[in-house]
Homo-oligomer: A and B are copies of this chain.
């Protein structure tokens, strides 16, 4: 048999090649300049001979060159991607937040990876660990991690929290007081004297809301009682209805709109009229709030802004004075207290 191996050692067939992605070497070869010049031309505009730069760009375009992010990440340590970790992609609450974060990431020409933790601290820790090795920074939403863990993460990777409270890392949280205050006043003016709060997952956020509401209620000499739902889902909300009915409250505020929706659904199913028998106020004002039966009064949080601010903070831009404030949106799930 003829052995063809002996001939010319053509390692890199400069002529054809099976559609390999072009590298800076290809464009360097084409222009008979060095790869480092190409690199500079593409990355430090203005720092090299203008005409060479122009040529480089031209060839790059012609070849459809795009830098290999991995190859770039190796020497620089920067990956150009950021991580967003949240409890549950499926929760509409996060929509606007995701949008906000995504927007500023894209403005910077970086890429965003979204990971969810299924509301489990375990998974959350694992997810973050996995992410850490491949992102330049993380924004973490409504974390279940302790300050210790958060601090440990922060030591290795820039991280900021959104919609969570922690002393360990910088965070962006809206000011709940205005919205909650208005909600309580609204209820009070409607004649409600006994109100309830249906809490969400354990955590500082939930505690802060409850505490705030509690203090304000006692200050107004309203009675207030806390119910805890088994999660922050529609079903969890529905499940809690019997207890709120039994308690004798005439109005409830909830941790979020999902549980409020659950309560509405259960009311409808059991024939208890909202708001004649029970008023309900949600939190977050997700898109379905105006669609439900009846349309849900809700404390709106500026989720998109929160996301945006959090990401900007991660990028090093100090928070502008712009306060992130909540407000009450009144619809039809609140009405006069039953006599």
CB distance from A145 to the nearest CB of B (A): 17
Which residues of the other chain, B, contact A115 by a CB distance below 8 angstroms? 111-112
Query: Which chain B positions have C-beta within 8 A of A68?
Result: 74, 133
Return the contact of A74 from the options B74, B133, B155 (Cβ within 8 A): B74
Give the shortest distance, in Å, between A86 (CB) and chain B (any CB): 12
B19 contacts A261, C-beta separation under 8 Å: no
Q: Tell me if A265 counts as interface (CB < 8 A to partner B).
A: yes
- Cβ of A234 within 8 Å of any chain B Cβ, yes or no, is yes
Q: How far is the CB of A147 from chain B (nearest CB, A)?
A: 20
Interface flags for A15-30 (1: CB within 8 Å of B; 0: not) read: 0000101000000000
Segment at the B interface, from A171-179, A288-296, A322-330 = A288-296
A78 — nearest CB in chain B belongs to which residue?
B70
For A292, list chain B residues within 8 Å (CB).
288, 291-293
The 5 closest A-B pairs by CB, nearest first: A293-B293, A288-B288, A70-B73, A113-B113, A70-B70
Whole-angstrom distance from the CB of A264 to the nearest CB of chain B? 7
Contact B291 A129 (CB under 8 A): no
Complex contacts, A155 vs chain B, CB 8 Å: 19
The answer, yes or no, to whether A69 is at the interface (CB within 8 Å) is: yes
Task: Given A19-B155, A70-B73, A264-B291, verify A116-B133 contact (CB < 8 Å).
Answer: no
Would you call A89 an interface residue if the criterion is a C-beta within 8 Å of the partner chain's C-beta atoms? yes
Q: How far is the CA of A142 from the CA of B115 in the complex (A)?
A: 22
- Given A89-B95, A133-B21, A291-B291: A113 in contact with B116 (beta carbons within 8 A): no
**Which residues of A are at the interface with B, using a C-beta cutoff of 8 A?**
19, 21, 66-71, 73-74, 79, 81, 89-90, 92, 95-96, 98-99, 102, 111-116, 129-131, 133-134, 155-156, 234, 261, 264-265, 287-288, 290-295
Which B residues are in CB contact (< 8 Å) with A113?
Answer: 81, 111-114
Which residues in B have their C-beta under 8 angstroms from that of A96? Answer: 90
Contact among B69, B92, B264, B287 for A133, CB-based, below 8 A: B69
Known contacts A111-B113, A156-B19, A291-B265: A79-B70 contact under CB 8 Å: yes
Q: Are A66 and B234 within 8 A (Cβ)?
A: no
B291 adjacent to A234 (CB under 8 Å): yes
Q: Smallest CB-CB separation from A91: which chain B residue?
A: B95
| Cβ contacts under 8 Å, A131 to chain B | 111
The CA-CA distance from A96 to B99 in the complex, in Å, is 18
B99, B111, B129, B291: the one contacting A288 at CB < 8 Å is: B291
Residues of B within 8 A of A134 (CB): 69-70, 81, 111
Q: Provide the bound-state CA to CA distance between A99 and B115, in Å.
A: 11
Tell me whether A234 and B70 are in contact (CB under 8 A). Answer: no
Tell me the complex Cα distance, A112–B69, Å: 16
List the B residue with the shortest CB-CB distance to A112: B113
Residues in B whose Cβ lies below 8 Å from that of A287: 92, 234, 288
Whether A291 touches B261, Cβ cut-off 8 Å, given contacts A19-B155, A70-B73, A130-B111, is yes
A-B contact list, 14 entries, CB within 8 Å: A21-B133, A66-B130, A68-B133, A69-B133, A89-B102, A90-B96, A112-B113, A112-B114, A234-B291, A265-B291, A288-B291, A288-B292, A291-B293, A293-B295
